[in-house]
Amino acid sequence: MKVKKKTKPTPDISSASMSDIAFLLIIFFMLTTVFSQEQGLNYRIPETVKPVTEEMRNIEILVQENGTLIFQGKNIPYEQIRDIAIARKAANPEIFAVLKVEEKTPYGYIVNAMDELLVGGIENIAFVSAELNLEDAVRTP
């Protein structure tokens, strides 16, 4: 006689508990996942370039040995430096002034010109020997 094997009934998993388990797993992974934030490049886009007008150019004044000031090829009094500085500073807040000084110019003339520029609002002042060009002085470290 043949012995009949008993077949075990396969356990049934209820589908109602499957959806609960799936939602619990979704919630678990949502809470434990760390999202990395991408680091972007730090850069600044340049502003549009405006055409350089006469008022926006830097101030270049020649101080001669006898105290004469020359601005754009004309002799000017010390008091006029202040007016020029105020007008140019209004057009270009980042403007700077260059005092081209002859070798034997007394310091008093240089200080007077510098004081007028400071009163006019120009704080960036460079001193250059009158024999040098402005471009040579800027390139020299």
User: Which residue ranges make up each domain of the chain?
Assistant: 54-139
pLDDT number for residue 50: 62
pLDDT number for residue 72: 87
Is residue 42 classed as helix, strand or coil in its secondary structure? coil
Find the radius of gyration of the CA atoms of the chain: 40
pLDDT digits (tens, 9 = 90+) for 45-81: 667 666 655 556 788 999 988 888 999 888 999 889 9
Is residue 61 classed as helix, strand or coil in its secondary structure? strand
Give one DSSP letter per residue of 88-127, joined into a string.
HHHH-TT--EEEEE-TT--HHHHHHHHHHHHHTT---EEE
**Tokens 């508990």 sit on residue:** 17
Contact present, 91 and 62 (Cβ < 8 Å): no
CATH class assigned to 54-139: alpha beta
**Kind and range of the H or E run holding 17:** helix 15-32
pTM of the model: 0.54
